[in-house]
Structure 1
Amino acid sequence: MTDGDVPQVIAVQEPGTIVILETVFPQDAFPFPRDDIARRWRAEIDAPEIDAFVVVDRAEVIGFAAIRHEEFLHFGIAIERWGSGAAQRAHAQVLEQMRHHGVTRAWLRVFTGNSRARAFYERLGWRSTGDRTYSTFAPNPELLRYERDVDAAAERKV
């Protein structure tokens, strides 16, 4: 991902976030923080410990991902691609990148109230640790930690 990709990434991220997280971030009270998210992406692109990626299909940005060491930091696919298999393919590529960096066990955080994402990750072998933290974005909803092995054998079992 480059700084020039950020507007396209936001264009993919915003609609999915609004749909999936309506109960977590009600838009009338907590609208999608477009400028804050764009600033965060730009800072993460510049951070040497973070690898940020765009998911592209036929020269169109259809998703995004970021990793930081063992953390699967961000992930999303355009709402119109949900159910197409694009998310599973992109997820596998991100895990491959983590393996390439020597990661054997990865972790991520997902909003407790995001049942769609939780089901997606659970189908792909992620398991909740029960550890909980809170988002820095108001209203500071709860996040649940998930972990999984990232070796090739674990990927084949899923």
Structure 2
Amino acid sequence: MEFQLLGPVRAISDGRQVDLGVRKQRFVLAMMLLDANKLVPADRLVELTWPDEAPRSARGVIHTHISRLRSVLNAADAERHGVALISNGPGYMMKCDPKRIDVNKFMDLCTEAGGLRRKRLGSGCSTTRWLCGTVRRSRPSLPKRCGLV
């Protein structure tokens, strides 16, 4: 199972795209994947999902999204891939190999390309420019976070 966060949020299992549900549900999944293997408090998910003003039912809605995501992932045989959405006290944790998430792969490549650039290898400079250019429009903070600009 692979997760794509650069661009539309997607999950691919055994070569097939998994239907992740409605937009806010996909957003909750994306927030969980950005903090894979870490406890994300339910209150934090509420703040991220409704930054201006959360409805009274916000915690219940988050719980429903998590429950539906868990069902979707289980139907896609997530456990076989080492992926699980776990309830843990005041929050949730997405258990997942970070290398299954495209943004983490991208960050690793940026770090590698930055190292090549610092060593002044010609391919490193062109690789860095290519990597930064691929996401600059949709994720402008990533090249800065990688120390490439």
Which range, TM-score by smaller chain?
A: 0.3 to 0.5
Structure number, greater radius of gyration: 2
Structure ranking higher in strand proportion: 1
TM-score, length-scaled by structure 2: 0.34
